[in-house]
Structure 1
Amino acid sequence: MATKPTQYPGLLSSSRITTLFASLIVALSSGSNYVFSAYAPQLAARLQITHTQLNIVGLAGNVGVYSSGPFWGRIVDSRGPRILLVSAFILLLSGYSGMKYIFDTGFPPTSTTISTLTFCLLVACSFMTGAGGNGSFTGSVNSTAKTFPDKARATATGIVISGFGLSAFFFSTISRISFAGNTSSFLQLLALGTSMPMIMGFFLVRQIPLPPVDSVASLEHAAEDAIDAGAMDVEEAENSALLEHAEVDDAATPVQLSRRAALSQGLLPNVYGRKLWTSSDFWLLFLILSILSGTGLMYINNVGSMAQALYAKDNSHYDPVEAAHWQTAQVSSISLMNFSGRIFIGLVSDITKNRLSLPRSYSLTLVSSFFFLSQVAAANVDNIKNLWIASGLLGLAHGSAFSLFPTVCIEWFGLPHFSENWGYLSASPILAANLFSVAFGRNLDAHDRTPSETGHPGPVSGLALQCLEGRQCYVDTLYLTVGVTFLSVLLSIWAGWRDRSKIVSSREKFANSRGEMVWENSERD
């Protein structure tokens, strides 16, 4: 008796669509780490911690993101997304609930600030929110990539990734409408709004089997490698890997043909391990990404304090609710432009390569220029109404960077060890982010004054330290980032030139090898 063939759900079947939309909701709840500036100044004012300490709290969330990726990737590859979603539920609920409890409790009446132990708990809670959000996002993207066939995989994962990019906009908009000036309620919203969707995801986010013809090993490995890579923004690498494979398989332009031929001749690199660590190309990319992402994280974590400083300048009637509106407006601008940047740079880099016959690394100069312009704009903004310009440019730059760099990593070092290579590169933000953020915090602390010294009510009357000098409160740090981002522009130009030179050299080697083969064959004839 013949065995009945296995029936697989269609592309638009209810099971696949359910996984897609459930993953989108989970992703939308996973990017709350970037909404930190919407409540950070109020947190500092309530707990009487310095801006330097506040930056340490924000950085703990970033470290939770970038350090947990490889751990989550190994689990989801071997056990599926459910463990990640349960862990994310616990970490997000505990993290934000802990921050709310510490905020509500404040500092003891006999002290002027919180204890060292309480501050360490606050840092731990921030770390949990970063690690939890990264875990849920990793699970959602992994499940989506393994649920849809090659012809729809890039689109499906792109939808989920866009949900993560809009997470900060989603929560900051709710804060502006419903919880302006009420930080405790906003932290409660984050605790429930980020954790409860994980319960839904536990039951609905799952891998739907693909027919054997669609289970192309190379594409699945590319998707899994991207998940292993290790950071929330890094998941865009998955699309890049898939598109890179598609480019090799399709009818190609002369540039693509030379790349495919070079691959078959072993002329394209497969760099990893010790060879990677001794590669000047790796350290060049590492330095550029460290500068750019460090600048981005510094701005994202401190734009709320910048907004308050600008709003407080020459404002004798300080309104905490209106100040909170300006804070969340900056977060929304960054989030929306971050989402746009991911799409924009993908189109630009494809046009650069496919139509202009130039390597994608040329787009590094454009991304670095966005960062440079954002810092120049921020350093010159002295009115709160214009700060959105700098915030929008920074969001565009940050989204573009984490969409482009994984692709460049693949093109420079090869796909077989992409997970390992990008894991090292994606750790680069931690170095510069710590340096720039601590410098920013110390700069603000140096300009802070108490309400009794200024006669100004401050963000929280009678409690908060507040700088009333507008952009002078922090502009010295922005001069630093203007300088280093300009350096990144120069380094990006050099990186593009090096890449172009190597591609030309590879083509010449391939042409020479073909010429020698033709000459040998003609001699035999």
Structure 2
Amino acid sequence: MLVAGSLYVFALYAPSFTGRLGYTQTQTSMIAVIGDIGLYGIGPVSGMMADRLGPRPTSLVAGSLLGIGYGLLSTGYSIGLDQVRANEPPIHFLWMAFFLFLAGMGSSASYMAAFTTLARNFTESRGIALGIPVSFFGLSAAFLTSISQSFFMTQFPDTHGQLELDTVRFLLFLGASGGLANLISVVGLNLLQQPQQSPHEQHDSTKKSLVDPDLEAEENSASGLDRPASRSNANEYTPLLREDTLTGSIAESTTRSEPSIRTATTLEPSSPSSASFPAETATTTTALPSRQERVSVSGKAFFKDRDAQYFFVVMFCLTGSGLMIINSISAIVDSIAAGEQLPEWMAPRVKDDRDSLAAIRAHQVLLISISSYMGRLVSGFGSDYMIRRHDGRFHRIDVVPMAAMVMACAQLAALVVPLRWIEVCSVLTGFAYGGFFGIAGTIVAEFWGEETCGQNWGWLSWSSAFGGMLFNLLFGIVMDSSRQDGDSKTCRGHGCYGWALGVSLVACLLSWVLSIHLGRRQRRREASMF
């Protein structure tokens, strides 16, 4: 996880593409977009690979792609520099985009290998089990930024003594570290065998599943038990597929939006990923479905699921807005700095090379990464705590509106804050982005099943790819069109990107509304079940 998030440091070397190779902001944004497509868009493939082949082959592929992708990107940048020095056009930006796409695919495969391993091995308290390791995915940018500032800053003849990132060597380091880490993880990643029930336990659980529902309700009422509350409570922090459910009566539901009572007969594996569930023949019985009692949803049924469609739009708006700031924070810093006089506390340090614009950019990347790490931890721990504390009244999906509102505040901050307060935008962006991804994978596993969570999460990742593509391209186009001088490489002031941030602000508000609606749909569904 610590090296899988290397694409989040794109903002560190993006200024080298515009300043050294002469790419426009739109071209640089396109490179970031295609890299994000590799990270998120290839998710279905890497997810199915992790589900069917296991984490070890997936991690091996990830290491190879990371090494090749970043190695070619470093070579392409070096060739481009030589071409610019010879007064020739640099390497075409689409080649650079393709190289970053390979690295993005490697990051996706690396993430999926770890994610599916965690989702299958830890079925209880998933918010913590997934939140802690996944949080390192967000922290990777801080880790890599610190390394870049310590070992890869150098002086060039035309920088007037100011330190600048050695992009060639840094990209080589990203490829080598990513490849090596994944090769090492091939040895450590493994799916644990879940404990099996004894024949006596299976017989007892089968007898329990055949109890008359009316008689069982009377017994619960007589003993003072609140059956609906206990069932609702189990939806969030107990295993999705309980052992007594697998060995007893299994209630299936072909659609989640219209829960109904089905008669449990013979269960057939619905996909290769669910083939580990043996077919069970039970006496005809009626059972009320709940999320953990249903076979994992995937394929056509997943695409037709209304909640999956809503969640896709939420991810599109929320993550697209976040990726726009994450990939373009350096351009935002340069624009604000060019449009205002540097404050007194900053000016002398810029002259002394202790706080150059390159260092300010790196500081923002560091803040985004650390706050993303904190957001993932808070959402993972917090959702588990709130679910236990409020006993069915709080659902994990309730975290998403909070993340959407924080992201909206980040967009607003980028529109108005001066350079001295740009950290507010960075911290809010990272916290909202990490907070969402800290529980998004868990929501997918709980809503649509753990056995196919890899491929389902992969399909949903397309929303992040599309969102990042739209908002990053919008940012680049708006910024290039706002340049006052066609020969100038820097646009001045907040107005350079104002329209792009305005659109992303509206998108964040839309994701806030839809995520609240998703939470209400879940509550209505549970109320109708009981």
TM-score (norm 2): 0.71
Go from structure 1 to structure 2 and tell me whether the alpha carbon gap of 1:450 and 1:47 turns closer, same or farther (over 3 Å shift): farther
**Contact 1:293–1:429 (CA under 8 A) maintained in structure 2:** yes
Q: Which residue of 1 aligns with 2:144?
A: 171
Go from structure 1 to structure 2 and tell me whether the alpha carbon gap of 1:193 and 1:241 turns closer, same or farther (over 3 Å shift): farther
Q: Which residue of 2 aligns with 1:289?
A: 315
**Contact 2:19–2:489 (CA under 8 A) maintained in structure 1:** yes
Task: Note if 1:202 corresponds to 2:238.
Answer: no
Distance 2:239 2:131 in 1: 16
Paired-residue identity, %:
27
Distance 2:389 2:146 in 1: 39
Q: CA deviation at 1:324?
A: 0.8
Go from structure 1 to structure 2 and tell me whether the alpha carbon gap of 1:429 and 1:151 turns closer, same or farther (over 3 Å shift): closer
**Contact 2:62–2:109 (CA under 8 A) maintained in structure 1:** yes
1:63 is aligned with what amino acid? I
Q: CA deviation at 1:445?
A: 0.5
Distance 1:369 1:139 in 2: 31
Q: CA deviation at 1:29?
A: 2.1
**Contact 1:326–1:384 (CA under 8 A) maintained in structure 2:** no
Q: Which residue of 2 aligns with 1:521?
A: none
Distance 1:411 1:80 in 2: 20
Go from structure 1 to structure 2 and tell me whether the alpha carbon gap of 1:241 and 1:84 turns closer, same or farther (over 3 Å shift): farther
**Contact 1:368–1:485 (CA under 8 A) maintained in structure 2:** yes
Deviation per CA, 1:170-213: give whole Å up to 9, x if none. 11122234434666624423422442464365356425878866
1:496 is aligned with what amino acid? G
Deviation per CA, 1:235-270: give whole Å up to 9, x if none. xxxxx99954189789xxxxxxxxxxx995225466
2:3 is aligned with what amino acid? S
More moved, 496-505 vs 439-448: 496-505
Q: Which residue of 1 aligns with 2:426?
A: 391
2:364 is aligned with what amino acid? Q
Go from structure 1 to structure 2 and tell me whether the alpha carbon gap of 1:187 and 1:215 turns closer, same or farther (over 3 Å shift): farther
Q: Which residue of 2 aligns with 1:72?
A: 46
Unmatched runs of 5 consecutive residues or more in structure 1: 1-26, 217-239, 251-261, 454-463, 508-525
Q: Which residue of 1 aligns with 2:518?
A: 495
Distance 2:438 2:125 in 1: 19
Q: 1:401 aligns with which of 436, 452, 462?
A: 436
Query: The residue matched to 2:239 in structure 1 has which SS?
Result: helix
Go from structure 1 to structure 2 and tell me whether the alpha carbon gap of 1:360 and 1:152 turns closer, same or farther (over 3 Å shift): closer
2:431 is aligned with what amino acid? L
Task: Note if 1:192 corresponds to 2:173.
Answer: yes
Task: Note if 1:441 corresponds to 2:476.
Answer: yes
- Structure with the bigger percentage of helix: 1
Q: Which residue of 2 aligns with 1:465?
A: 489
**Contact 1:292–1:485 (CA under 8 A) maintained in structure 2:** yes
Q: Which residue of 2 aligns with 1:484?
A: 507
Deviation per CA, 1:60-114: give whole Å up to 9, x if none. 1111112333433444556555544544444333322333333333344676743
Query: The residue matched to 1:427 in structure 2 has which SS?
Result: helix
Q: CA deviation at 1:380?
A: 1.4
Query: The residue matched to 1:206 in structure 2 has which SS?
Result: helix
**Contact 2:35–2:104 (CA under 8 A) maintained in structure 1:** yes
Q: Which residue of 1 aligns with 2:384?
A: 350
Distance 2:9 2:309 in 1: 31
Aligned residues: 433
**Contact 1:150–1:214 (CA under 8 A) maintained in structure 2:** no
Distance 2:19 2:185 in 1: 41
1:448 is aligned with what amino acid? R
Task: Note if 1:123 corresponds to 2:97.
Answer: yes
Go from structure 1 to structure 2 and tell me whether the alpha carbon gap of 1:490 and 1:60 turns closer, same or farther (over 3 Å shift): same
More moved, 86-95 vs 161-170: 86-95
**Contact 1:81–1:206 (CA under 8 A) maintained in structure 2:** no
Distance 1:206 1:214 in 2: 23
Task: Note if 1:323 corresponds to 2:357.
Answer: yes
Q: CA deviation at 1:282?
A: 2.2
Structure showing greater relative contact order (alpha-carbon pairs closer than 8 Å, 6 or more residues apart): 2
Q: Which residue of 2 aligns with 1:474?
A: 497
Give the RMSD, CA atoms, in angstroms: 3.7
Task: Note if 1:364 corresponds to 2:410.
Answer: no
Task: Note if 1:311 corresponds to 2:361.
Answer: no
Q: Which residue of 1 aligns with 2:214?
A: none
**Contact 1:64–1:131 (CA under 8 A) maintained in structure 2:** yes
2:315 is aligned with what amino acid? L
Q: CA deviation at 1:296?
A: 1.0
Distance 2:7 2:139 in 1: 12
2:369 is aligned with what amino acid? S
Q: 1:38 aligns with which of 2, 12, 33?
A: 12
